[in-house]
Amino acid sequence: MPQLDILLPFSFPSPELAADLLRALRLPAFALLAARGMPGALQTSEDFSHALPHEAWLARRFGLQAGTDESGSPPVAPAAMAAAGLAPEAGEWFMLQPAHLHVARDHLVLTDRRQLALHEAESHALFDSACALFEEAGLPLRYGDAQTWFLRSDDWRGLKTATMDAACGRNIDIWMPRGTGERAWRKLQNEVQMEWHAHPVNEARAARGAKPVNSVWLWGGGDAGQAMPQPSYSHVWASGWPSALAAGKGNSLPADAGALLAAAPGRGLLLIDDLSAPALAGDWSAWLEAFHAIDEAWLAPLLAGLREGKLGALKLVTSDGNRLRETDVSRLALKKFWLQPSLARLVP
């Protein structure tokens, strides 16, 4: 019988605003699934973890726990390269992503990558200017897409890095790479920042009111010579690096929940990331709107599919910046009519 894991990053409301947000939420499908499902223990992470709880959850699901423990962020670069159509030679490859840093009162803060809206032509131009700097240092650079490049440095094995979302909105000093190679990395990062300070791409972006691309973020280091674990999922509907880990089983989001149910996944993973951007930006009005859309477009028809036997079970995975909970829902659980729909489990 088909089973589906539904991962909803940043579905827990801000603790400071939880009471008001819960009053404003209208999530009939989610409330029923959460109330009648079997909740697991609340999982918490340390305040300065280098991967968010849902990122660590994904790393465990795809057999990357050991690499994540060692390097802080999931070692996803080799898989992401393969998914981008690149064939990396054996060695230690890292994700290198264009970024915007803004100056706070006494430190630099990493902006959410989703706010950059970086075009392919802009990214290629910035990549070409950075490429000379890295290759001069003996570090090959490869282009994946507008937001994802790849850097090889075998001497930096074991370098502890943080994902972009884990560092987003915070003083970057705490999440900067640590370990062998950190000084060399900081030097190169500074050189890129100087190279891009007056780059034509950033001058054009400034003219139209867009944030400048003024830095790069390094994370996700992994050995391309090591075989990647095979996923246990038959279907993965996701974007970005989680899709890359699906080893050919990854798909972009289907047109609708009906198309997903028609695929009849043996065991599927659906990652809906529409809540991350508003949560990271503190735009709770947009967060409410996005959650309502998820409930209507995805959770309600999937709940109907569970009732009709098109799915045998659902797992809801809810999280925020340092907490995560799994809730297992079976067809039989839906018959617990005495349990009224409730959003109480959105307040861990």
pLDDT in tens, 280-299: 999 999 999 999 999 999 99
Average pLDDT over residues 125-132: 95
Q: Which residue has the higher pLDDT, 318 or 338?
A: 318
> How far is residue 18's CA from residue 22's CA, in Å, rounded to a whole number?
6
Q: d(Cα 142, Cα 291) in Å, to the nearest integer?
A: 36
Q: For residue 231, how far is the Cα from the chain centroid?
A: 17
CA atoms within 13 Å, Cβ hemisphere of 140: 9
Residue 247 is predicted with a pLDDT of 66
* Locus of tokens 């797992």: 315
User: Is-contact 72 64, C-beta < 8 A?
Assistant: no
The angle subtended at Cα 194 by Cα 193 and Cα 200, nearest 5°, is 90
Asked if pLDDT for residue 25 goes beyond 80, the answer is yes
Please report, for the chain, the start and end positions of each structural domain, with discontinuous segments joined by +. Answer: 3-50+229-346, 64-223
Residue 211 has pLDDT above 90, yes or no: yes
- Given a contact cutoff of 8 angstroms between Cβ atoms, the answer to whether 170 and 109 are in contact is yes
> Token pair for residue 250?
């990854």
Q: Are 62 and 231 in contact (CB under 8 A)?
A: yes
Contact 82, 62 (CB under 8 A): no
Nearest partner of 292 among 32, 24, 54, judged by Cα: 24
Vertex 43: Cα angle to 69 and 322 (nearest 5): 75
pLDDT of residue 59: 93
Which amino acid, 158?
G
Dist CA 111 CA 63 (whole Å)? 29
**Residue 29 token pair:** 């499908």
Model pTM above 0.85: yes
Structural tokens at position 298: 């995805």
- How many CB atoms are closer than 10 A to CB 255? 8
Question: In 3D, which of 51, 50, 59, 67 has the Cα closest to residue 178?
Answer: 50
Model confidence over 36-88: pLDDT tens digits?
A: 999 999 999 887 899 999 999 999 999 999 889 889 999 999 999 998 999 88
What Rg do the C-alpha atoms of the chain give, in angstroms?
21
**Rounded (10°) angle between helices 120-136 and 182-196:** 130
Percentage of the chain beyond pLDDT 90 is 74
State phi, psi for 276 to the nearest 5 degrees.
Answer: -65, -50
DSSP string, 170-204: SBGGGTS-BSTTHHHHHHHHHHHHHHHTT-HHHHH
What letter does residue 13 receive in the DSSP assignment?
Answer: P
pLDDT at 106 over 80: no
Alpha helical stretches, state H, the chain: 18-24, 28-36, 53-61, 65-71, 77-83, 120-136, 164-167, 182-196, 200-207, 241-244, 257-262, 276-281, 284-294, 300-307
pLDDT interval class at 259 (50, 70, 90):
confident
Tokens of 98: 């264009």
Give the model's confidence band at 218: pLDDT under 50 very low, under 70 low, under 90 confident, else very high: very high
* 226 φ, ψ (degrees, to nearest 5): -95, 140
